[in-house]
Chains A and B, each alone.
Chain A
Amino acid sequence: DTGVSQNPRHKITKRGQNVTFRCDPISEHNRLYWYRQTLGQGPEFLTYFQNEAQLEKSRLLSDRFSAERPKGSFSTLEIQRTEQGDSAMYLCASSLGRVTGELFFGEGSRLTVL
């Protein structure tokens, strides 16, 4: 078990471009989360999957953001037509989900929009 894995670790893009981040959760963890963190702030909830079902999407997420978790394994977070305000650390986390359990994070994907 290698923990939660995120790729790429850092992405620099120009305003208006699309970016995609990938998350591989801890195996057998059926809950997967995406959070966003900006400098000096705690992680803010973006969206949550139970297996392959996306059960909640924060109102922080505009229509430019979409997340998927096909087959209930890895997940992708896509941001279309990036804006400078999208610059942040995007954190993926997973938990076992049978009971309210520990939440384990990946190292994050840092997005810089120029």
Chain B
Amino acid sequence: QKEVEQDPGPLSVPEGAIVSLNCTYSNSAFQYFMWYRQYSRKGPELLMYTYSSGNKEDGRFTAQVDKSSKYISLFIRDSQPSDSATYLCAMIASGTYKYIFGTGTRLKVLA
């Protein structure tokens, strides 16, 4: 079993829809959680960075962490065709240095 599991998709939604992207993990030591957006043939771009449980909002993006369920989510409101990309979750335990990534979910927002 992988430490971080993420549905690879693809996920297709109409423009304006609310998108929910999720990751589950097995290592209870993870405390820092990140979401990255990666366009085709580009490097990952950091979208959200959260510590421990709770919610964090930035514009159309909301990150949620539920440590009790070992489950994290990224919500995208009013999705746009420019949001079409692969979304990667990543996490790391406090005091360590190795970031662990999910496989990424491919999202297509249809105009």
Contact = CB atoms under 8 A, between A and B. Distances in A.
8 contacts: A43-B44, A43-B88, A91-B44, A97-B97, A100-B96, A105-B44, A107-B42, A108-B42
Interface of B: 4, 6, 8, 31-32, 34, 36, 41-46, 49, 88, 90, 92-104
B47 to A, nearest CB: 11
Contacts of A56: 97-98
Given A100-B32, A107-B43, A41 B98 contact: no
Interface residues of A, number: 28
A72 B32 CA distance: 25
A33 B101 CA distance: 13
- Pick the most buried of B6, B34, B93, B98: most chain A CB atoms within 10 A of its CB: B98
A103 B102 CA distance: 15
Interface of A: 4, 6, 31, 33, 35, 40-45, 48, 50, 55-56, 89, 91, 93, 97, 100, 102-108, 110
Contact of A102 (B41, B46, B95): B46
